[in-house]
Amino acid sequence: MTRDRVEKHREYEEGGVREYWLIDPGARQAEFFGMGTGGRYRLLAVEGDGAFRSVVLPGLWLRTDWLWRRPPLMDVLKAWGLV
């Protein structure tokens, strides 16, 4: 995890990657970073209902609990308003 939290974090930040997701399935932890002013990452908020909304891809969102369990595809498509 040091590679992801330190080395990749720094490399992606220096490379201008606008959004960086750090997901640890073992710890069931997800952190989302977005490029802030001055070219530095800032931690992005997860909403109270557990939803994260991408700042880079408008309209893309996910419930963080979907990362730890596999919801039925139809449930996800309904949540996204696609069916």
Predicted structure pTM score: 0.86
pLDDT in tens, 17-47: 999 999 998 999 999 999 998 999 999 999 9
| Count: domains in the chain | 1
Domain of residue 10 covers 2-79
d(CA 69, CA 76): 12
The 10s digit of each residue's pLDDT in 71-82 is 999 999 999 999
Q: Quick check: 67 pLDDT over 70?
A: yes
Please tell me the predicted confidence (pLDDT) of residue 29. Answer: 92
Q: Which of 27, 35, 72, 68 is nearest to 54 (CA)?
A: 35
Quick one: pLDDT at residue 6?
85
